[in-house]
Amino acid sequence: MSKLTKPEGYHALLDLKQTEIGIKKIKDFFLSSLSTELRLRRVTAPLFVLRGLGINDDLNGVERPVTFPIKDMGESVAEVVHSLAKWKRLTLAEYAVNPGFGIVTDMNAIRADEELDNLHSLYVDQWDWERVMRREDRNVAYLKKIVRKIYSAILRTEFYIYETFPQLKPYLPEDIYFIHSEELRRMYPDATPKEREHLICREHGAVFIIGIGGRLGDGQEHDLRAPDYDDWSTPNEEGFEGLNGDLLVWYPVLGRSVELSSMGIRVDKESLLRQLAIQHKEERCSLYFHRRLLEDSLPLSIGGGIGQSRLCMILLHKGHIGETQASIWPDQMRRECREAGMMLI
């Protein structure tokens, strides 16, 4: 069932024309800033991949990909991508990208099982990026370094939009706060993972939660992750686990935290085998992507996705993601949004 939050006293600070101008400016400026910070080259990406190669992202493992048969390929089945986490790593190998450099692309996807609300849509658009790294950099310190670079690009974009539209006052903090999901659980033991995110973001403004996918001290995961892209089961120097995480900010318009990016250091051969065993999915070792990784023919990498429409939404102070992207919404939600001053595209 879809859910809708109606921000009390909401008033769009930009009209439809200004909004479209703002979306264009954000997408152009942020992509340039991100590419400069991480030394990324833009590449062209697929909308769909063949089923059975292990290339599509399985997300939480329960979402159904949109599929269709290909008439000219013997009715082989194609899947619309959920994200490009694995495809990007194959592309790094194909382009022979050197350590310290990477790729970035516009990822467009359809997630038919998404529960629709102010932040979730059937249509997903991300900047998907991936960067080659050295083995000695597979640690939490390097992860934090990359996160800070991404957050710097977000802050620069916020200021750029403020210069263009002075009514959009900056509100993001100068620094981003890091915390492990197990530390967060101990801090708020009686709260759900989502409630913990709201509480820590309300306190610090911008937070990166480390360690998404592994079981915590209560036997539960902070959130689910597929076993074959992010490394969430490697112990770090603090005694916790995980080399991945989520970047969230406190969003005053909705009075809640908003996830802008999921990212992490990718699995190597050892962590892939360990995580497949944890989730009892060892049969994936026979798939094309997994064979390439186990054969050491893919580079070590770090990567992630950054929501385009979500970033536009929070920097343009919008109440609903449908104000910054065109998608399909239930008729009742469209009516309620219009009554609340949220004009969906």
Establish if 105 belongs to a structural domain.
yes
Over the stretch 286-317, which tens digit does the pLDDT of each residue have?
988 999 999 999 999 999 999 999 999 999 99
Residue 11 covered by a domain = no
86 is a domain residue: yes
In this prediction, residue 64 carries a pLDDT of 78
pLDDT at 62: 59
pLDDT on residue 46: 87
Q: 334 pLDDT exceeds 80?
A: yes
Model confidence at 61: pLDDT above 60: no
pLDDT of residue 3: 85
Q: How much is the pLDDT for 58?
A: 61
Mean pLDDT of all residues in 268-288: 92
pLDDT at 60 over 70: no
The residues annotated as belonging to the active site are 57, 111, 126, 246, 259, 262
Residue 170 has pLDDT above 90, yes or no: yes
Q: Is residue 255 situated within a structural domain?
A: yes
- For the residues 235-245, what does the mean pLDDT come to? 76
* Band of residue 55 on the pLDDT scale cut at 50, 70, 90: confident
**pLDDT, tens digit (0-9, with 9 covering 90-100), for 65-102:** 888 888 888 888 888 887 788 899 999 999 999 999 99
- Give the contacts of 245 (CB within 8 A, at least 6 positions apart): 143, 147, 181, 208, 209, 210, 211, 212, 262, 263, 264
Q: Tell me the average pLDDT across 243-250.
A: 97
Query: What share of the chain in percent tops pLDDT 70?
Result: 96
- Domain assignment present for 200: yes
Q: Given pLDDT bands bounded at 50, 70 and 90, which one contains residue 2?
A: low
CATH number of the CATH domain containing 94: 3.30.930.10
**Residue 158, domain member (yes or no):** yes
pTM exceeds 0.85, yes or no: yes
The count of domains in the chain is: 1
Instruction: Band the pLDDT of 238: cuts 50, 70, 90.
Output: low
Q: Which of 35-39, 152-156, 175-179, 287-291 has the lowest mean pLDDT?
A: 287-291
Residue 345 lies in a domain: no
State the residue range of the domain holding 326.
16-339
pLDDT at 179 over 80: yes
Q: Is residue 3 part of a domain?
A: no
> Mean pLDDT across the chain, nearest whole number?
92
